Amino acid sequence: MITGTPKPIEEILEMLEPYDNIIVAGCHGCVTVCRVGGEKEVQVLASTLRLAREAAGRTITIREVSLERQCDPEYIEQMRPYVGDYQAVLSIACGAGIQFLAEKFTTTPLLPGINTGFLGVTVRQGEWSERCQGCGDCVLHLTGGICPVTRCAKSLFHGPCGGSVQGICEVDKEVKCGWQLIIDRLKALGQMENYGKLKPYKGWNSSRDGGPRRIIREDMI
Amino acid sequence: MKSGSNLEKVLAAGHFSVTAECGPPRGADPDIVRKKAAFVKGNVDACNVTDNQTSVVRMSSLAGCLLIKEEGIEPLIQMVVRDRNRIALQSDLLGASAMGVRNLLCLSGDHQKFGDDPQAKNVFDIDSMQLIHMVKTMRDEGIFPSGDKIQGAPQFYIGCAVNPFADPFEIRVPRLKLKMEAGADFVQTQCIYNMEKFKKYLELAKQEGLPDKIKILAGVTPLKSAGMAKFMRRMVAGMDIPDEVVNRIAAEPKEKQAAKGIEMCIEQIQELKEMEGVAGVHVMAIEWEEKLEEIIGGAGLLPRPVMA
Amino acid sequence: MLPCTGRIDESLLLKAFENGADGVMVIGCLEGDCHYVSGNIRARARVERVYAILERIKIGPNRIRMYNLSAGEGSKFAAFANEFVDQIREIGPSPINLVRAGNQGVTEKEAT
């Protein structure tokens, strides 16, 4: 899922300084699962903002909305009838959702209520960990199902580097060396022959470097 | 000859070679480089010039190489893939070769977290293994990775680095082999203190027949004090300094520890010199270049052979 | 009606403050004694989160508290309630109520 963390309330209050009448918009997708932008979080954030603003002597009117998804146009359209009645929309969906709202509602300012994180997994309740950078050219079949781009701090294709000590990356004691994980896994799978091969230079053009990426599946259009 | 560099010639002639390193200054003052160069000159077959090591911003490696070259030292340019994408790397390779730099060390580079600018965006477009492969392709096939023909292929004696002491140990020799296959002509190791482990590493490398295909230069760093040893052990990932090494220097009174460190380094070089499969030493006297002559001379490695 | 403190979520607690509460006490069953296994433990975590929110927006911090009691501890309940009420009296009205009272004052004045 796409993960995220709430922005500090002070930062949100500062963003809301010019406004007295807003929508707080959540999303029932990923951000609900990682508990940063769902219906409940909308309620809590709206209450918090109302309390903070009123305590500071200036009330704010908030409409609480949760869309099924902010990344699909049909759900966004549900907001169209009333969005013009508000000065701004504070969205606590991921960056994609926030931008899609902004794109659809061109005259309404869109404000981010969360910092979007990464494509990750739930390690346990309250802990998420990145697994994929969406580089567009998956090599997991060669690396024991562990991604070198994401799991190695240097995204090396022929690791581990000299900074790998007892399975820990030099960058952070909490970070496991991605290449140690890959090697352990390749060994367990009996696929160590994959290690000894020179891998071609990665084509980053399928990754972040070509402007916004598009996927077009003719069969579905 | 692949590059015609002095280092390549010395090694090809079967001499036990010596390299050292110069860290460029944190500034634009060329005299600092020249001063260090004076300590290096005559004592080595080539001198590494580091490339923003530990991600601390310094004068560029290429500029440092040209400065020491002016002083009559054969430069060895270090190149990390942390800060430059393949376009910049290719361009700098062409530039370095054009300016007469003939030795190259291909590195990943320390993570930016450890330097001045931990918030910098790292590059790692290709990794050090692929850089080796790229240089070899450019040199031997005269083409860019894109396939286009190069007008005047760069000439480099291609080096790589290994840390025999990082984990997992069993991957260390296969990884060296991979670097050799990618195109490395020589390798400089991380500083060795744990000789037993290094011997084990070398033994495995010999079983793979690697010393015949890639020249192994063993890395050494003289310890200035017991404090330095303890600091390095604690702070540098993959730095293996056994207790007996630390204890030996710690047993000396403070003012004699530096001399002891040099003595230990000389002993170590002498031992390495006798080891089959070791083609030379790489002496990293960190901010202690003035001791190079004493160390290298003390190990009986002076004068350096003069190649035609 | 709430069957269990585990059914209380953060927004409900915040709503109480929006509706003018100066303090909120949440009383759950004794820990380890929850009919729904861990409802009271969840409630405690939520109370703690609301506590942090109130502190952050300068309403709190000591306006919300979780207590654990069994149904048979009437006198203890009374003691806790008295203790909490004293605590809130000492802190005084919530800033929200102060603002609202102030505004009312202004309107009354304007009216005259």
Q: What is the pLDDT of residues C43-82, one digit of tens each?
A: 999 999 999 999 999 998 899 999 999 989 999 999 999 9
Q: What average pLDDT does the segment A70-91 reach?
A: 98
pLDDT (tens digit, 9 = 90+) per residue, B63-100? 999 999 999 999 999 999 999 999 999 999 999 999 99
Whole-angstrom Cα distance, residue A179 to residue A182?
Answer: 5
The domain tally of chain A equals 2
Q: What average pLDDT does the segment A65-94 reach?
A: 98
Give the residue from A91, A118, A145 where a domain finishes. A118
Phi/psi for A192 (5° steps) reads -65, -20
Q: What average pLDDT does the segment C11-29 reach?
A: 96
Q: Which domain holds residue C13?
A: 5-111
Instruction: Using an 8 Å CB-CB cutoff, list chain A residues near C100.
Output: 54
Q: What H or E segment, with its residue span, contains residue A12?
A: helix A9-15
**Residue B264, burial from CB neighbour count under 10 angstroms (0-12, 13-18, 19+):** middle
Q: Which of A164, A134, A165, A169 is nearest to A150 (CA)?
A: A134
Identify whether residues A7 and A60 lie together within a single domain. yes
**Residue C37, burial from CB neighbour count under 10 angstroms (0-12, 13-18, 19+):** exposed
Identify whether residues A79 and A150 lie together within a single domain. no
Q: Which of B71, B46, B50 is nearest to B60 (CA)?
A: B50
Determine what percent of chain B is predicted with pLDDT higher than 90: 96
Name the H helices within chain C. Answer: 10-18, 39-56, 74-91, 95-111
Name the average pLDDT for chain A: 95
Residue B260 tokens, joined: 């002891």
CB B130 within 8 A of CB A201: yes
Distance from the A165 Cα atom to the nearest Cα atom in chain B, whole angstroms: 5
Sheet with strand A88-91: strands edge to edge: A61-67, A21-27, A88-91, A110-112
Residue C104 has pLDDT above 70, yes or no: no
Nearest by CB: A54 against C10, C53, C99: C99
The domain tally of chain B equals 1
Angle at C36 between CA C30 and CA C39, to 5 degrees: 60
pLDDT for B78: 98
The verdict on residue A208 lying in a domain is no
pLDDT (tens digit, 9 = 90+) per residue, B29-45? 999 999 999 999 999 99
Q: Which carries the bigger pLDDT value, residue B158 or residue C105?
A: B158
The verdict on residue A77 lying in a domain is yes
Whole-angstrom Cα distance, residue B87 to residue B127?
Answer: 13
The verdict on residue A31 lying in a domain is yes
Q: What average pLDDT does the segment A186-210 reach?
A: 90
**Peptide bond just before B222 cis, omega within 30 deg:** no
Buried b (16+ CB within 10 A) or exposed e, B283-301: bbbeebbebbebbbebbeb
Q: Which of C49, C67, C56, C40 is nearest to C11 (CA)?
A: C49
The verdict on residue B306 lying in a domain is no
Looking at residue A12, which CATH number applies to its domain?
A: 3.40.50
Give the residue from A68, A92, A118 where a domain finishes. A118
Identify whether residues A54 and A12 lie together within a single domain. yes
**Residue B202, burial from CB neighbour count under 10 angstroms (0-12, 13-18, 19+):** buried
Residue tagged 């240089």 (tokens): B135
Identify whether residues A95 and A187 lie together within a single domain. no
Residue B189 tokens, joined: 């190791």
Phi/psi for B179 (5° steps) reads -65, -40
Looking at residue B20, which CATH number applies to its domain?
A: 3.20.20.220
3-state class of A129 per DSSP? strand
Nearby residues of C89 by Cβ (< 8 Å), 6 or more positions away: none
pTM for this model (two decimals): 0.90
The verdict on residue A210 lying in a domain is no
Name the average pLDDT for chain B: 96
Identify whether residues A109 and A149 lie together within a single domain. no
Least reliable range by pLDDT among A45-54, A204-213, B149-158, B214-223? A204-213
Distance from the A110 Cα atom to the nearest Cα atom in chain B, whole angstroms: 27
Angle at B265 between CA B261 and CA B268, to 5 degrees: 140
Q: Which domain holds residue B292?
A: 6-298
Which residues of A touch chain C, with CB atoms under 8 Å apart? Answer: 9-10, 40, 43-44, 47-48, 50-52, 54-55, 57
Buried b (16+ CB within 10 A) or exposed e, C75-95: eeeeebeeebeeebeeeeebb
Q: What average pLDDT does the segment A125-142 reach?
A: 95
- Does the beta-carbon distance from B166 to A166 stay under 8 Å? no
Identify whether residues A15 and A104 lie together within a single domain. yes
The verdict on residue B307 lying in a domain is no
Residue C106 has pLDDT above 60, yes or no: no
pLDDT for B126: 97
Instruction: Using an 8 Å CB-CB cutoff, list chain B residues near A161.
Output: 108, 163, 166
pLDDT for C111: 43
pLDDT for C103: 72
CB A9 within 8 A of CB A15: no
Residue B204 has pLDDT above 80, yes or no: yes
pLDDT for C112: 41
The verdict on residue B308 lying in a domain is no
The verdict on residue B1 lying in a domain is no
Distance from the B121 Cα atom to the nearest Cα atom in chain A, whole angstroms: 11
Instruction: Using an 8 Å CB-CB cutoff, list chain C residues near A50.
Output: 18
Whole-angstrom Cα distance, residue C16 to residue C60?
Answer: 13
CB A93 within 8 A of CB A37: yes
Which residues of A touch chain B, with CB atoms under 8 Å apart? Answer: 153-167, 170-171, 177, 180, 183, 195-196, 198-199, 201-202, 204
The domain tally of chain C equals 1
Identify whether residues A72 and A155 lie together within a single domain. no
Q: Which domain holds residue A30?
A: 2-118
Pick among B82, B167, B233 to test the A interface (most A CBs inside 10 A):
B167
- C-alpha pair distances (Å), B225 with each of B193, B222, B231, B291: 14, 9, 10, 14
Determine what percent of chain A is predicted with pLDDT higher than 70: 100
Instruction: Using an 8 Å CB-CB cutoff, list chain B residues near A171.
Output: 111, 113
3-state class of A48 per DSSP? helix
Identify whether residues A67 and A104 lie together within a single domain. yes
Nearest by CB: C14 against A44, A54, A55: A44
- ipTM, 2 decimals? 0.90
The verdict on residue A90 lying in a domain is yes
